[in-house]
Amino acid sequence: MNTKYILLILIFIGFTACESDDDTTTVEPLPALSAGNADFSNFVSLGASFTAGFTDGALFMASQENSFPNILSQQFANIGGGSLSQPLMNDNVGGLLFAGNQIANPRLFFNGAGPQVLPGVPTTEVTNVQSGPFNNMGVPGAKSFHLLANGYGNPAGVPVGAANPYFARMASSANASMLEDAAAQNPTFFTLSEIGGNDVLGFATSGGLGVDQAGNFDPSTYGSNDITDPIVFAGTLDAIVTTLTSSGAKGVITSVPYVTSLPYFTTVPYNAVPLDAANAGGLNAAFAAYNGGLLAAEAATFISSEERAARTIVFAEGQNAVTLVDESLTDLSALGLPNYRQATANDLMVLTSSTFIGTTVGGDPTLINGLSVPLADQWVLTETETQSVINATDAFNVVIESTATERGLAFVDLKAILQEASTTGISFDDYNMNTSLVFGGLVSLDGVHLTARGYALMANKFLEAIDATYGSNFIAADVVAKADNYVVQYSPELP
């Protein structure tokens, strides 16, 4: 009996030992970090608002510290890269002063219901020029050709719109250009990001008009809002890349996202107005003469039946499309008819229209913006205008990607990344981030620029492209940004 039990015990111990061996997971050590054939010792990042770290409608110290170039530099530091110098703002309030007068608002914060401008007064004075040079050459509002413009940072030109206040704070001289200041640092590695973005974005955020709809300086619509000619863009990009690579520097370049991927254009629905039967009937009566005029115009063959139907304004109980002015319609002013119609799902309401639709004109309850008073063009990016933006974006991206291929540069497809995020969401560590305003995690409260976590994801996408092009191994060595280290909303009490 004792022998039998001893044998059973030995067999059990054997099974237990085998089970233990099966459960043991061997963790392979991470490979040593390698730079491949890239040299990160002198890194310069050239671009616009994404490069600067612009978020929540402003630039401020915390956002700059979480800019994607600064996040990249922290990874590059593990393989010989140096610290990244930035023209830091004075505080975490954001906004700008020029000669003591406020020209840009403080940052936005989430008040529990929606984005709200942070109370407080900016303390960053444009005329207090910072001493460089700066590795982060991100300038909010810069279009592609602005990078070549001498005097773009001349403080004297800021009040008249001839210069950029963000570059005025950091330019090496009043007559310097962004590209000259970047190239003067003899970078060994560079990023050239979102070049071409502002060339279409200003047109789009102003509803296709070259105006500042808020009446204040807006970095996303700085300067003229016309879409840049693709031929001009191509020549500009070639000059920029030729200069940056002239001493053998390697780098990364990115595509331009579609505006249709940004919540600035997708948050406010085209049919945002709920009506009861009585109010719908009253509005129908108000537009009866207009609709009758359209029938007469069709009968006189001034317009087709299709255009007449598209222009006819009809309200019903429930959710209703807003009314708008569309200058692309046939001009019927000779008949006393304006260019009115109701919005469709292909029209994009700009984010700021959310605070305008439904307001009254002069307190008159019969004059309701977006209903009895059609929205002016600045509040809407019509389908025709959207297509113009997309066509230009496609043309820019063809040039950008071919330039990356011909010059041997790494390429990050920001357009594809934002499209993925806006449809299925995009994974970052334990998070699935999308482009929903406030809660999506990727895009900040201004509806255009990224959150800190979004910029960290962007930095990792740069590292993936660098690995693929230059033989480095940041991803395999796990030398990357971690999502949990970056917030999606800054506290209003941020010190």
pLDDT at 206: 86
Cα gap 446→480, rounded to integer Å = 27
What value does the mean pLDDT take over residues 102-112?
97
pLDDT at 459 over 50: yes
Instruction: Encode pLDDT of 153-177 as tens digits.
Output: 999 999 999 999 999 999 999 999 9
pLDDT, the chain, mean: 92
* Two tokens, residue 25: 């997971």
% of the chain at pLDDT higher than 90: 88
Cα gap 303→382, rounded to integer Å = 20
pLDDT at 369: 96
Cα gap 438→425, rounded to integer Å = 15
Distances 111 to 162, 254, 291, 492 between C-alpha atoms, Å: 36, 34, 43, 9
What value does the mean pLDDT take over residues 434-457?
98
Instruction: Encode pLDDT of 28-60 as tens digits.
Output: 899 999 999 999 999 999 999 999 999 999 999
What value does the mean pLDDT take over residues 293-316?
97
The CA dihedral of 135, 138, 144, 149, to the nearest 10 degrees, is: -70
Residues 240 and 356 in one domain: no
Instruction: Encode pLDDT of 174-210 as tens digits.
Output: 999 999 999 999 999 999 999 999 999 999 998 876 4
Residues 231 and 294 in one domain: no
Instruction: Encode pLDDT of 217-255 as tens digits.
Output: 344 433 458 899 999 999 999 999 999 999 999 999 999
224 inside domain:
yes
Cα gap 108→491, rounded to integer Å = 10
Q: Which residue has the tokens 């191509």?
A: 234
pLDDT at 495: 87
Residue 122, C-beta contacts closer than 8 angstroms, at least 6 positions apart: 91, 93, 94, 95, 96, 97, 102, 104, 105, 106
Distances 357 to 176, 252, 300, 362, 475 between C-alpha atoms, Å: 43, 42, 34, 14, 47
pLDDT at 119: 95
Residues 375 and 391 in one domain: no
| Number of compact structural domains in the chain | 2
Instruction: Encode pLDDT of 145-155 as tens digits.
Output: 999 999 999 99
Instruction: Encode pLDDT of 332-349 as tens digits.
Output: 999 999 999 999 999 999
Q: Which residues pair with 348 in a beta bridge?
A: 381
Residues 331 and 211 in one domain: no
Domain of 190?
Answer: 43-266+385-485
20 inside domain:
no
Q: Which residues pair with 441 in a beta bridge?
A: 434
Residues 138 and 187 in one domain: yes
1 inside domain:
no
pLDDT at 331 over 80: yes
pLDDT at 128 over 90: yes
Residues 396 and 460 in one domain: yes
Residues 422 and 455 in one domain: yes
- The strand ranges marked E within 308-415 are 318-320, 323-325, 340-342, 348-349, 360-361, 364-368, 380-381, 410-412
pLDDT at 17 over 50: no
Residues 95 and 236 in one domain: yes
pLDDT at 1: 36
Residues 56 and 123 in one domain: yes
Domain containing 417 — which CATH number?
A: 3.40.50.1110
Cα gap 384→375, rounded to integer Å = 16
Nearest CA among 54, 40, 351 for reference residue 194 = 54
pLDDT at 208: 79
pLDDT band for 24, please (50, 70, 90 cuts): low
pLDDT at 19: 42
Identify whether the C-beta of residue 46 lies closer than 8 Å to the C-beta of residue 137: yes
Residues 296 and 212 in one domain: no
End-to-end CA distance of the chain: 77
- Phi first, then psi, for residue 340 (nearest 5°) are -105, 150
7 inside domain:
no
Alpha carbon of residue 159 to chain centroid: 26
pLDDT at 10 over 90: no
Residues 298 and 324 in one domain: yes
Instruction: Encode pLDDT of 366-399 as tens digits.
Output: 999 999 999 998 999 999 999 999 999 999 999 9
Residue 8, C-beta contacts closer than 8 angstroms, at least 6 positions apart: none
Alpha carbon of residue 50 to chain centroid: 7
pLDDT at 290 over 80: yes
pLDDT at 14 over 50: no
Q: Which of 66-70, 248-252, 384-388, 411-415 has the lowest mean pLDDT?
A: 384-388
Cα gap 326→342, rounded to integer Å = 9
